[in-house]
Structure 1
């Protein structure tokens, strides 16, 4: 398997990050996403934004 196929593209990573909000990713998929996040600031920001929105929604639910 070529090296590039081990690390997902941004579009795939963002989709996986969104899916991870609702269900658990497999250990291999989580590792692939983590490696991508180490190298991509845009997807890291996207991940942080998802976490922020999730926390905000939790807080809204408490009010």
Structure 2
């Protein structure tokens, strides 16, 4: 298996980040996503946006 197959593409990473909001990812999958985030500014921003949206929704639920 080549190293390129270990690092998911942006589309796959974004899907995995979304899935991680609702369920736990395996250790290997979390590591693959983390490596991708180290190298991709766009997906890092996407991840930060997901966190922001989740926190905003939690705050709305408290009101």
TM superposition outliers: structure 1 runs of 4+ over 3 Å? none
* Number of positions where the alignment pairs a residue of Structure 1 with one of Structure 2: 63
Unaligned residue ranges in structure 2 (runs of 5+) = none
Q: 2: CA distance between counterparts of 1:2 and 1:24? A: 26
What is the root-mean-square deviation of aligned Cα atoms in Å?
0.2
TM-score, with normalisation over the residues of structure 2? 0.99
Structure 1 stretches of 5 or more lacking a match? none
For 2:20, the equivalent position in structure 1 comes to 20
Normalised by the length of structure 1, the TM-score is 0.99
